[in-house]
């Protein structure tokens, strides 16, 4: 999406940074609302992703399920 619109995209593992960039480029009230309503879950997803790549860490099954549910809702936007 970003590459087609602006010819580049942020090279980062940060889902929050990507979403903010998409919001700046495309606008979109629904994405802004999703971001605002799910800020904590997005933060936890980002932390889990980065930590799972670089740190030995275990995660709670319930928290992982909630984060996955939020992730699936994100792709419906």
Selection from 41, 48, 53 nearest residue 19 by Cα: 41
Angle value at C-alpha 22, between 18 and 23, nearest 5 degrees: 115
Instruction: Tell me the per-residue pLDDT of 3-52, one tens digit each, with 9 for 90 and over.
Output: 676 677 667 778 888 888 888 888 888 888 988 988 888 888 888 888 87
pTM: 0.59
Selection from 58, 33, 29 nearest residue 42 by Cα: 33
**Environment class of 45 (CB within 10 Å of its CB; exposed 0-12, middle 13-18, buried 19+):** buried
pLDDT at residue 30, as a whole number: 86
Instruction: Tell me the per-residue pLDDT of 45-62, one tens digit each, with 9 for 90 and over.
Output: 888 888 878 877 777 888
């Amino acid at each position: 999406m970003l590459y087609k619109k602006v010819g580049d995209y942020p090279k980062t593992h940060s889902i929050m940074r990507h979403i903010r960039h998409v919001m700046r480029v495309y606008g979109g009230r629904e994405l802004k609302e999703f971001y605002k309503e799910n800020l904590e879950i997005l933060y936890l997803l980002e932390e889990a992703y980065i930590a799972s790549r670089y740190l030995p860490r275990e995660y709670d099954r319930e928290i992982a399920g909630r984060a996955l549910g939020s992730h699936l809702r994100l792709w419906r936007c």
